[in-house]
């Protein structure tokens, strides 16, 4: 769901302006954090950004429908927050140039994509030791997908609330809103459940594979601090 | 979207319409103007004028009809959700909410369909931080290699029956397949790094300066800009819709 790119002209300007400001802030922080990054890291994050775009283009069959993956979770796990921010921005800009998602909402789209990626890494690092890379990546991806979707719904709700049109008849408005929300829930919840399940299973396969073949590409959780009595004296 | 990248890239480099000869900067500014007008206008007449204008731009650039239709339909899902959530019983709101993203999406496709990516990214790279600007160039280049590799892998999975497996197993296998592409991407990034060092990478990919080369075709771009501006001045208060 974090792959649902918001197009231009749907959201009120105040929302996308906030999105652009957030994106600028995140860009500044990530650039400061990667100030000493060499071309090798840029090349690696670009390769993963390219993979994100390539995978988004591939339809995965889910119950007769085609679902497009994002890989935001696994790529966030592999890259870390600063590079994930930059990859999300680059991917969003390229998609906007292809007509997938708007120019004015590049900020919001990038922030939602970044949110999922950064969150996945944070969860993964807390689960990897106990569950192993496959399961940890699956759970991290599932939770980040759910929360990205929640962010997406929150943006939608804020946009509806900030709509300038005045509604005169409150009874009709309440009834219509009930019908509209029921219809949306019927449409969106099954798609959300399927999307989260598919992304989590793909992440499980990906995490397990990298854990077996190239564990050095996966982030290692920080070693737990030993009590001072257990630190060997030199 | 699987062939869209390659198709757009080919069209941008090989097209012969006047729009293809115009400078990238002029087209970027025109696209920005049209998007801003579409986003801020509350006049359905202006929006319709802009839609006809961008359709004319796309057709005169000889972009394939399928690509134009795909661009027009791309924002449909999100617009539909928003229309359902906000519909207040009048047809004007849904009309505006469908047309605005359609205009923006079509002008985006016209822009990338008539401008090769080094020219398009070069002005953007001047305003973006170095890491992000370099990433923009390298990510776009990486897409093509990874797309073809991922496509081959997908076909192999289909032919070898991985897609016919039970639900959970099928997706886990697909995840493992993506893992091989991640490894390939990692190895590719190392080769790319060595190539950059060999070619004397100075710490920034600057892109070319073609984006600033103004030609006679830029007059046509300027003409469309003037037309859009005049339409905005004339129609801004006509057919205003309260959405």
Verify whether the Cβ–Cβ distance B135 to A48 is below 8 Å: no
For residue A224, the distance in angstroms to the closest alpha carbon of chain B comes to 29
Residue B84 and residue B101 in one domain: yes
- Residues whose CB is less than 8 angstroms from the CB of residue B6 and which lie 6 or more positions away in sequence, other chains included: B144, B147
Residues B194 and B224 in one domain: no
Please determine, for residue A167, whether its predicted confidence score (pLDDT) is greater than 50.
Answer: no
More confident residue, B93 or A63: B93
- For the residues B169-184, what does the mean pLDDT come to? 83
Domain co-membership, B73 together with B7 = yes
pLDDT tens for residues B18-64? 999 999 999 999 999 999 999 999 898 999 999 999 999 999 999 99
Residue B242 inside a domain? The answer is: no
Compute the mean pLDDT over every residue in chain A, rounded to the nearest whole number. 80
Residues B19 and B73 both lie in one domain: yes
Mutate to test the interface with B, among A42, A91, A206 (most CBs of B within 10 A): A42
CA–CA separation, B77 and A184 (whole Å): 12
Pair (B107, B143) in one structural domain? no
Q: How many domains are contained in chain A?
A: 1
Give the closest-approach CA distance of B12 to chain A in angstroms. 12
Contacts of A30 in chain B (CB under 8 A): 131
Q: Which residue in A has a C-alpha nearest to residue B168's C-alpha? A: A201
Write the CATH number for A44. Answer: 1.10.1760.20
| For chain A, percent of residues with pLDDT exceeding 90 | 27
A45, A58, A213: residue with CB nearest B150: A58
Residue A100 located in a structural domain: yes
Instruction: Identify the domain containing residue A170 by its residue range.
Output: 13-219
Residue of B nearest to A96 (CA): B108
Q: What is the pLDDT of residues A184-213, one digit of tens each?
A: 667 677 777 877 888 888 899 889 999 999
For residues B8 and B65, membership in a common domain is answered with yes
- Residues from chain A that touch B141, judged by Cβ atoms under 8 A, are 46, 50
**A156-159 — which CB contacts under 8 Å span 24+ positions?**
A156/B81, A156/B82, A156/B85, A158/A15, A159/A10, A159/A11, A159/A12, A159/A15, A159/B82, A159/B86
Cβ within 8 Å of residue B145, ≥6 positions away: A50, B188
- How many structural domains does chain B have? 2
Q: Would residue A171 count as lying in a domain?
A: yes
Q: Judge whether B72 lies within some domain.
A: yes
Q: Are residues B18 and B39 in the same domain?
A: yes
CA distance A123 to chain B (A): 19
- Considering the domain architecture, whether residues B54 and B87 belong to the same structural domain is answered as yes
Q: Give residue-wise pLDDT tens across range A91-140.
A: 999 888 887 788 888 998 899 989 999 999 999 999 998 999 999 999 99
pLDDT at position B2 is 53
pTM above 0.90, yes or no: no
Q: Is the ipTM of this complex over 0.90?
A: no
The CA distance from B204 to A31, in Å, is: 14
So what's the pLDDT on residue A234? 43
Chain B residues touching residue A87 (CB < 8 angstroms): 135, 139
CB B243 within 8 A of CB B92: yes
A18 touches chain B (CB under 8 A): no
Q: Which of A87, A96, A159 sits opposite B135 (nearest CB)?
A: A87
Which residue range(s) make up the domain with B53?
2-121+210-237
- H or E element in which residue A67 lies: strand A65-68
- How distant is the alpha carbon of residue B92 from its chain centre? 27
- Within a domain: residue B204? no
Q: Which of A101-115, B80-94, B195-209 has the lowest mean pLDDT?
A: B195-209
Which residue of B139, B147, B203 is the best one to mutate when testing the A interface, meaning the one whose CB has the most A CBs within 10 A? B139
| A198–B contact, CB cutoff 8 A | yes
Q: Are residues B90 and B167 in the same domain?
A: no
Dist. CA A98–CA B145, nearest whole Å: 18
Interface probe, candidates A1, A3, A4, A7, chain B, greatest B C-beta count within 10 A: A7
Scan residues 82-101 of A and list those with Cβ closer than 8 Å to B. 86-87, 89-91, 93-94, 96-100
Q: How many Cα atoms occupy the beta-carbon half-sphere of B91 within 13 Å?
A: 0
Residues of B with CB below 8 A from A181's CB?
85
Average pLDDT of B55-78? Answer: 87
Assign A174 a pLDDT band (cuts: 50, 70, 90).
Answer: low
Average pLDDT over residues A10-34: 91
């Amino acid at each position: 769901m974090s792959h649902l790119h918001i197009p231009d002209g749907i959201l009120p300007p105040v929302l996308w302006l906030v999105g652009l400001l957030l994106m600028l802030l995140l860009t500044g922080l990530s650039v400061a954090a990667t100030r000493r990054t060499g071309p090798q890291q840029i090349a690696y994050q670009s390769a993963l950004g390219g993979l994100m775009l390539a995978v988004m283009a591939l339809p995965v069959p889910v119950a007769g429908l085609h679902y497009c993956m994002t890989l935001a979770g696994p790529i966030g796990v592999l890259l870390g927050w600063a590079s994930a921010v930059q990859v999300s921005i680059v991917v969003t800009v390229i998609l906007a140039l292809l007509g997938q998602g708007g120019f004015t909402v590049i900020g919001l789209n990038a922030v939602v994509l970044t949110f999922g990626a950064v969150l996945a890494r944070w969860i993964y690092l807390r689960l990897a030791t106990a569950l192993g890379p496959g399961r940890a990546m699956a759970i991290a991806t599932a939770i980040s997908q759910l929360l990205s979707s929640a962010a997406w719904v929150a943006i939608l709700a804020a946009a509806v609330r900030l709509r300038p049109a005045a509604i005169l008849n409150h009874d009709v408005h309440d009834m219509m809103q009930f019908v509209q929300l029921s219809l949306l829930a019927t449409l969106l919840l099954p798609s959300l459940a399927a999307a989260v399940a598919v992304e989590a299973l793909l992440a499980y396969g990906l995490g397990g594979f990298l854990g077996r073949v190239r564990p050095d590409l996966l982030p290692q959780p920080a070693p737990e601090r030993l009590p001072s009595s257990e630190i060997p004296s030199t | 979207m699987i062939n869209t990248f390659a198709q757009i890239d080919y069209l941008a480099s090989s097209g012969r319409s006047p729009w293809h000869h115009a400078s990238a900067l002029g087209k970027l500014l025109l696209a920005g103007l049209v998007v801003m007008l579409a986003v801020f206008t509350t006049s359905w007449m202006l929006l319709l004028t802009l839609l006809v204008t961008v359709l004319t731009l796309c057709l005169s650039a000889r972009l394939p009809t399928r690509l134009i239709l795909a661009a027009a339909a791309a924002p449909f899902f999100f617009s539909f959700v928003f229309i359902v959530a906000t519909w207040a019983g009048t047809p004007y709101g849904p009309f505006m909410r469908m047309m605005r993203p359609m205009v923006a999406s079509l002008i985006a496709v016209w822009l990338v369909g008539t401008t090769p990516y080094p020219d398009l990214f070069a002005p953007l790279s001047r305003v973006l931080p170095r890491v992000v600007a370099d990433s923009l160039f390298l990510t776009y280049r990486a897409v093509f290699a990874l797309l073809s590799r991922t496509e081959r892998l997908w076909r192999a999975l289909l032919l070898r029956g991985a897609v016919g497996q039970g639900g959970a197993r099928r997706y886990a296998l697909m995840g493992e397949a993506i893992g091989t592409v991640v490894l390939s991407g990692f190895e590719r990034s190392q080769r790319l790094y060595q190539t950059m060092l060999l070619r004397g990478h100075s710490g920034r990919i600057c892109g070319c300066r073609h984006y600033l080369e103004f030609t006679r075709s830029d007059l046509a771009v300027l003409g469309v800009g003037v037309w859009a501006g005049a339409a905005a001045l004339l129609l801004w208060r006509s057919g205003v819709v309260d959405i």
